Amino acid sequence: MSEVSAVMTKKNVDDDGAMMERERTLLVFDLVGEYCGLDVNLVREIVHVPPRITRVPNAPHYVRGVINLRGTVIPVLDCALKMGGSQTGSTSESRIVVAEFEGIQFGVLVDAVREVRSVPDSLIESEDSSSAGSIGTEYVIGIAKMEDGRLIVLLDLAELFDITQLLEEEN
């Protein structure tokens, strides 16, 4: 598990100084038929998928290409392709979630963004104790079992896209 999971948990103190249950604030989105969550602190912005994503020669198969976002070139990564699925076409609900980890900005193509919500740690099971459906468990921090019956897979983007390996190669 990478440093991302450590960043996702925060301690809450009420007005009287008493400890409250720990929780995580997540961006919840649809991906390959699952609800997925990402630490909202990693998210810089959410943008519509442009009509054209410029392909990059010899890039890994999951790199859809790059976009120009207000003068900054951002690589766009396809989670579905990285996790062994097939490339899906963009719909009117598809978005690019622009994330930043350790100074590296990248866009993650998702099927639809649903909400931002706080999830108490008591509703989250570690990746070791549950299955993530169609998503590989090596990319999963945990599974949130919501009161309404939904499951939200908490993704570790640094692990999914080998961001820590990129950082090591830069140094």
DSSP string, 73-138: EEEEEEHHHHTT--PPPP-TT-EEEEEEETTEEEEEEESEEEEEEEEEGGGEEEGGGS--TTS-GG
- Please report the pLDDT score of residue 17 as a whole number: 54
Q: How many Cβ atoms from other residues are within 10 Å of residue 123's Cβ?
A: 16
Domains in the chain (CATH in brackets) are 3-170 (2.40.50.180)
* DSSP strand pairing (19-31 vs 140-145): unpaired
How high is the mean pLDDT in each 10-residue block of the chain (171 residues)? 43 54 90 90 95 91 92 90 74 93 89 94 72 60 89 86 56 44
- Please report the pLDDT score of residue 3 as a whole number: 42
Q: Which tokens belong to 18?
A: 């008493």
Q: Which of 126, 120, 149 is nearest to 35 (CA)?
A: 149
Report in angstroms the alpha-carbon separations of 64 from 22, 57, 115: 36, 10, 25
97 and 110 in contact (C-beta within 8 Å)?
yes
- Please report the pLDDT score of residue 7 as a whole number: 41
Report in angstroms the alpha-carbon separations of 116 from 27, 39, 44, 94, 133: 5, 10, 13, 16, 22
- Please report the pLDDT score of residue 169 as a whole number: 45
H-helix or E-strand spanning residue 154:
strand 151-155
- Please report the pLDDT score of residue 156 as a whole number: 86
- Please report the pLDDT score of residue 106 as a whole number: 92
CA 16 to chain centre: 34
Backbone angles phi, psi at 152, to 5 degrees: -120, 120
